[in-house]
Amino acid sequence: MINITDSKKIWLLIYIISNMVAATIIFFTGMLVGDFEGVPFEDDFLLLFSLAIILISYWFFLGPLFSWVKRFKVDGNRGNTCNRNEKYLFGIVLFFMQIGFMAFNLLEGVNAAGSGGAVSNSPFAIIWVIFPVDMLFVIYYPLCRYEKMFKFNLIIWLVSNLQRGWSGVFIILMFFELGILAKKGKLSISRVSIVGVGVLILYPFVIASKWVIRSFSKVGFDFFDMSTGLVRAFSEIDYVAALSEGFLHLIGRLQTVSALIETIVIRKTLSHAFDAGSFLPFWKEGLFGLLYDKVFSVGKIMTLGVYFTQYTGPNNAIGDLGEWNVNSGFPSWVFIAPEYLFFYLGYVFMLCVFSVFLTKKISADDFQLDGLWLIWLLFLLPPWLGAFVGYIYAMIVFIAIMWCVNKMTTLFFVSE
């Protein structure tokens, strides 16, 4: 039995293969896939060019660059020195924050997947801007995986996200748990294969559940009606057809080659829209850009990913503009605003270095750095720079809370 010692290689391979499969489908069908399904395309050279730079970007950022940056020395990290009482108390604080966040979302009907246009006028909304609970849990996961409060926080995190229609939590869960098995020498190719087959078998039900939950999140959460909707959706599934469609949907969600192709094709249109201020520049995506616009009374402007949805395929025209977004692919900004090439690369590199610095301030443990690697995969490469900046901000908040917890433990616990 061959054991896998580094599960990150499996995840990188999955994303690379997904883009290659997507490119193969585009080549033989003459149609883009994923969010751009139904858009005709027959330029083989552009297809190969787009695929090549997508694969190079995944390999470079998640391979050589990450390995190099994570070698930076950072003094004074808290995770390797804080005792179990501090982690336990932090778990209690996070648990009640998650409960409050879930209650707020249920009452206000916000923060659900596909509800980008939904906002709350509650004065309590600012609390969840200051404390990004979902991100805090992702940081907490590798640091406190074996602590007392972890399982309670995990349950609340799963329920809260699934109730809002966020199926991506399963990627995070599988990433960390498979990583644990790999570090213990218990992750084999056969086990990875079993997990992969299990994902494909269950994926049609996951997709059906996601759309039902999202539809109810827009009209008000009612557990009984939602349960009835789920039962109805499951009973109407043509499983054989759904299995094939589910596989294509999964490939469509993981790949970014289609979006990059469309970006290059309509780059002049997007460039003119960018110059006209129709969507945010990459350096203003995220919380800090939002604060800048608030301070200087700039109206709300959508991100590239949101603006891009109006150019998606006819089968994906769901909801109003502003309610969802697409992954444009990391190299997309190079074609939209080539004059900002060096600024773009420098800005992203700065974010990469700062993210490693903050991660090591929390813990220099390899498992904590693995969690950051996942964030690079999920947020940096699509790219969702706003979410990536949000994660960096969440690490700052995490460090601040841990500092407060350290002071509290001197009052409530005897230091171990």
pLDDT exceeds 60 at position 317? no
Share of the chain above pLDDT 70, in %: 88
pTM score of the predicted model: 0.91
pLDDT exceeds 80 at position 222? no
Quote the pLDDT of residue 341: 95
Tokens at residue 98, please?
């998650």
Q: What angle do CA 154, 157, 161 make, to 5 degrees?
A: 145
Share of the chain above pLDDT 90, in %: 54
Quote the pLDDT of residue 256: 94
Q: Which residues pair with 188 in a beta bridge?
A: 3
Instruction: Read off the pLDDT of each residue in 87-103 and give the average, rounded to a whole number.
Output: 95
Quote the pLDDT of residue 115: 60
Quote the pLDDT of residue 149: 95
Instruction: Read off the pLDDT of each residue in 383-392 and give the average, rounded to a whole number.
Output: 94
pLDDT tens readout for residues 233-256: 777 777 777 788 888 888 998 999
Tokens at residue 416, please?
């171990």
Q: For the ranges 181-195, 312-326, 342-356, 384-398, which has the lowest average pLDDT? A: 312-326
At 385, the pLDDT band (50, 70, 90 cuts) reads very high
What does the chain come to in residues? 416
Buried b (16+ CB within 10 A) or exposed e, 101-137: bbebbbebbbbbbbbbeeebeeeeeeebeebbbbbbb
393 Cβ neighbours under 8 A, 6+ residues apart:
132, 135, 286, 287, 288
Instruction: Read off the pLDDT of each residue in 80-96 and give the average, rounded to a whole number.
Output: 85
Q: Which residues pair with 3 in a beta bridge?
A: 188
Contact 393, 72 (CB under 8 A): no
pLDDT exceeds 80 at position 392? yes
Q: Which has more pLDDT, 81 or 306?
A: 306
Contact 305, 387 (CB under 8 A): no
Quote the pLDDT of residue 297: 62
pLDDT tens readout for residues 333-374: 999 999 999 999 999 999 999 999 999 999 989 999 999 999
Among 28-37, 201-210, 305-314, name the most confident range.
Answer: 28-37
CA dihedral in degrees (358, 362, 363, 369; nearest 10)? -40
Mean pLDDT, the chain, integer: 86
Contact 361, 355 (CB under 8 A): no
pLDDT tens readout for residues 200-217: 888 888 777 777 776 666
pLDDT exceeds 70 at position 221? no
25's torsion region: left (phi>0), alpha (psi -120 to 50) or beta?
Answer: alpha
At 121, the pLDDT band (50, 70, 90 cuts) reads confident
Question: Using H for helix, E for strand and C for coil, what is the string for the chain?
Answer: CCECCCHHHHHHHHHHHHHHHHHHHHHHHCECCHHHCCCECCCHHHHHHHHHHHHHHHHHHHHHHHHHHCCCCCCCCCCCCCCHHHHHHHHHHHHHHHHHHHHHHHHHCCCCCCCCCCCCCCCCHHHHHHCCHHHHHHHHHHHCCCCCCHHHHHHHHHHHHHHCCCCCHHHHHHHHHHHHHHHCCCCEHHHHHHHHHHHHHHHHHHHHHHHHHHHHHHHCCCHHHHHHHHHHHHHCCCHHHHHHHHHHHHHHHHCCHHHHHHHHHCHHHHHHHHHCCCCCCHHHCCHHHHHHHHHCCCCCCCCHHHHHHHHCCHHHCCCCCCCCCCCCCCCHHHHHCHHHHHHHHHHHHHHHHHHHHHHHHHCCCHHHHHHHHHHHHHHHCCCCHHHHHHHHHHHHHHHHHHHHHHHHHHHHCCCC
Quote the pLDDT of residue 415: 46
Question: How many Cβ atoms sit within 10 Å of the Cβ of residue 243?
Answer: 14
| C-alpha to C-alpha distance for 320 and 293, rounded to whole angstroms | 23
Contact 216, 175 (CB under 8 A): no
Quote the pLDDT of residue 118: 62
pLDDT tens readout for residues 142-197: 999 999 999 999 999 999 998 887 888 999 999 999 999 998 888 888 888 888 88
Instruction: Read off the pLDDT of each residue in 209-231 and give the average, rounded to a whole number.
Output: 68
At 65, the pLDDT band (50, 70, 90 cuts) reads very high
Quote the pLDDT of residue 3: 64
Contact 404, 367 (CB under 8 A): no
Per the listing, tokens 């502003």 go with: 322
